[in-house]
Structure 1
């Protein structure tokens, strides 16, 4: 074995040992973008954000080359429109593995293949070829001696589960019983994970008020709004955990155990039409920040406390070419020009300071069109029960400005938001505040300078 190849193999082994120590958070990279950055630019973004796991929707060769020798773990995808050929022809499956996987290992650290995406609920006529495709691809991996490094699975949506709550009674839709038995048998035999696309945003919207928004966003629930599974007396503080546990129980209902669940897509849209008010920047930032912290604390779920749930955030770029609703185009944490929709850190934010690095460049400011009486009420709450540090805006202090409540309230709102966002604090204040990229303290400074000049 050449020194370069030996070094690459050792690097892969070290990464495998490192990642066995706990759950990780990766990110999806979609391609329905009108002006997608180059592969090398995307990899530079991943490095800058310290993202060590990516899920590609396909097996784009430029991306696979750019990801070589980075150590980043890569999940490649077999697109839905290729599944039929893959499931009907063993040679086709072998050719796909040779051209899209074997040709790039070990330089590119490919560890998973997602075969199709939500096939059973979006392309039901392809259901019968799903497991044959997995089996043919597995045979090709075995022939290439890659079956221990690269695992195969297929992402499913929560629509596969007839009734997800309470989690303890959840079962897969009986329509797919035969396919699911074969699919779970394949996962068990190959030591692969069940891939789940868990999107609490859709669970919240479809619930039409049954579940509080705080529950979907990992925020603290009012003691009177605690959500428990009546059959197990397990309390659920967030919808994400309930979805994962519903999946575990659905697997168990088919007499399978010890199949880990991996979440292949989870996120929150930052923009929508008027009919989807929960899709905004504040909620997207809150969900994704709280999701990252939740996954990285390795706490598992209420029914599976020892099973950590690695998760791929959905997604890196907002896909403006994606068909459907406005919110469907707005899940990315970045625009295609590489500017951030909002700032997000992929490191363990559980130990972050009160001024979370996830909020750098993001400020909570007063809505200038809100009634002054409403702003005053929100300001009083922020400086009182909200425990914001309002000392600088008190009478006699440098930022005191009694005739500019918008500036003063912005100062208080922003202090509260940066202190509490990591633990569920929001930038709303009864709709009197909003997210901005302008530091509110600057507006007070400008006002004071303007006054001193008159």
Structure 2
């Protein structure tokens, strides 16, 4: 594998340095400088999580405050959709690396004129680099699928910009590529059967050859959220959210027998197999967009804060675990989360305004739950979780799960009896959530204890309300109601009646 070859090359360099130093050919000071540079290159090659920053925000921070916020959140990589000069200027002399973007509406001018391309590089790159650490240029965004009329000019624009980088001697320091929608890959599962849309291959083949020649990544915008929404009933929600799976729920590629525990890995490998089919094996996938909306309309019931929190928290863990993909375990793709801020100026559909981790004024939409990532991003360190009913579950399945929880599951269901603190609102969903959480907390909060045949989910949001305090909550209630003997009797009778229900959570 080419990444393995790179590691061998680094080992060879270190041995060579040692030999040169021992023979006196290389001075100690020179050796230290070279080793420091190698260490810097190694750090730069490590996988990372970055953030996309859209600016359709009504109360967006000033560039200066934005950079201070990025530093406070320990965000080291960002992607802009343009080359905002105020933001680039504010990033100067920080360690934050930035991808600058060429908007789609500028492609025609740049692709038609080398002079225009050179001017763009001069104004948006040379004028800021190296004080501002521009790491790459993303040329257009999903051009092949959203503005196919501009497809013929895409590669000429990229090559013109690259030639301008060469003229400025920046072509080895700043990569250049273009982000693609996942839909350019057809038949993405199983990944081994994936291939690029053949109507696009006249453009994709020379583009991939360019990326291979210049050492640039294949930029892909990959959203398991949309895969799940388009394939409900086929793709389990757990696969989409990186949740731990039983072996029976893992996706298996029948051609390679590779097991896929999450949708994102399958999407990345589909891109690798598609490149392999075109004899391109030395281009790395960079995920320029991925995320999950925290709010949507009635047509998007899975756009919730809990799911967004779960997806992005697990995504961050997945990248920093550096486990790669089943097809390329030696390569972990870096990922830019979409996005840093909710873009509230985007009005339709509702979910489009709700992909951010933060509101424009820097207050969090929700707190991530990530361990082992230091102070990277605002997150909840209480590690408190609850088990509640999943959205969109039919009443019959929910009632069966509630019957089991209050019967064989031996959940404490006394609080959801008439007159007790958690009886209202009097519906199956509310009662089941309480019963599920009782079982989940008693069973040690394991992922397997919050399944109930797929009708429950783990959340970090305390579901307590009013005087109804859920079993996992640390809240205290004033004037807590004493359990009456009648309520206990009712609960016990109910448990006996439900004891014969055939149900299990595994």
Query: Which band: TM-score by shorter chain?
Result: 0.7 to 0.9
Correspondence for 1:268: 292
Unaligned residue ranges in structure 2 (runs of 5+): 1-34, 390-394, 424-432, 483-506
Name which one, 1 or 2, has greater alpha-carbon Rg. Answer: 2
Choose 10-19 or 311-320, whichever is displaced more: 10-19
Displacement of 1:40: 1.8
User: In 1, Cα distance between the equivalents of 2:185 and 2:125?
Assistant: 32
* Structure 2 residue 70 is the aligned partner of structure 1 residue 38: no
> Does structure 2 retain, via aligned residues, the 8 Å contact 1:281–1:435?
no
User: In 2, Cα distance between the equivalents of 1:428 and 1:325?
Assistant: 32
SS of alignment partner, residue 343 of structure 1 = coil
User: In 1, Cα distance between the equivalents of 2:69 and 2:446?
Assistant: 28
Correspondence for 1:127: 151
The match for 2:209 among 179, 185, 207 is 185
Correspondence for 1:17: 42
5 Å matches for 1:356-375? 357-358=379-380, 364=386
- CA change 1:132–1:46 in 2 (3 A) is same
Correspondence for 1:387: none
* Structure 2 residue 504 is the aligned partner of structure 1 residue 444: no
Correspondence for 1:234: 258
Correspondence for 2:11: none
- CA change 1:149–1:444 in 2 (3 A) is same
Displacement of 1:381: 9.3
User: In 2, Cα distance between the equivalents of 1:241 and 1:424?
Assistant: 26
Correspondence for 1:155: 179
User: In 2, Cα distance between the equivalents of 1:187 and 1:53?
Assistant: 21
* Structure 2 residue 118 is the aligned partner of structure 1 residue 94: yes
Q: How many residue pairs end up in the alignment?
A: 420
Unaligned residue ranges in structure 1 (runs of 5+): 1-9, 385-389, 396-401
The match for 1:165 among 189, 198, 213 is 189
Correspondence for 2:275: 251
Residues 277-335 of structure 1 deviation map (CA, whole Å, 9 limit, x = unaligned):
11111111110011111111111100011111111011001112235421122111111
Correspondence for 2:139: 115
5 Å matches for 1:217-232? 217-232=241-256
Residues 34-69 of structure 1 deviation map (CA, whole Å, 9 limit, x = unaligned):
222111222222122211110111111111111111
SS of alignment partner, residue 331 of structure 2 = coil
> Does structure 2 retain, via aligned residues, the 8 Å contact 1:268–1:288?
yes
**Which structure has the higher relative contact order (CA within 8 Å, separation 6+)?**
1
Displacement of 1:444: 2.7
Correspondence for 2:232: 208
Displacement of 1:145: 1.1
The match for 2:326 among 276, 289, 302 is 302
TM-score with structure 1 setting the length: 0.81
SS of alignment partner, residue 267 of structure 2 = helix
Correspondence for 1:71: 95
User: In 1, Cα distance between the equivalents of 2:198 and 2:384?
Assistant: 46
- CA change 1:310–1:433 in 2 (3 A) is closer
> Does structure 1 retain, via aligned residues, the 8 Å contact 2:289–2:338?
yes
SS of alignment partner, residue 294 of structure 1 = helix
> Does structure 2 retain, via aligned residues, the 8 Å contact 1:265–1:313?
yes
Displacement of 1:379: 7.8
The match for 2:365 among 341, 345, 353 is 341
> Does structure 2 retain, via aligned residues, the 8 Å contact 1:413–1:433?
no
TM-score with structure 2 setting the length: 0.74
User: In 1, Cα distance between the equivalents of 2:71 and 2:291?
Assistant: 21
Displacement of 1:103: 0.7
Choose 404-413 or 153-162, whichever is displaced more: 404-413
Choose 199-208 or 42-51, whichever is displaced more: 42-51
SS of alignment partner, residue 345 of structure 2 = coil
- CA change 1:403–1:324 in 2 (3 A) is closer
> Does structure 1 retain, via aligned residues, the 8 Å contact 2:78–2:98?
yes
The match for 1:404 among 393, 413, 421 is 421
Displacement of 1:265: 0.3
The match for 1:140 among 164, 175, 180 is 164
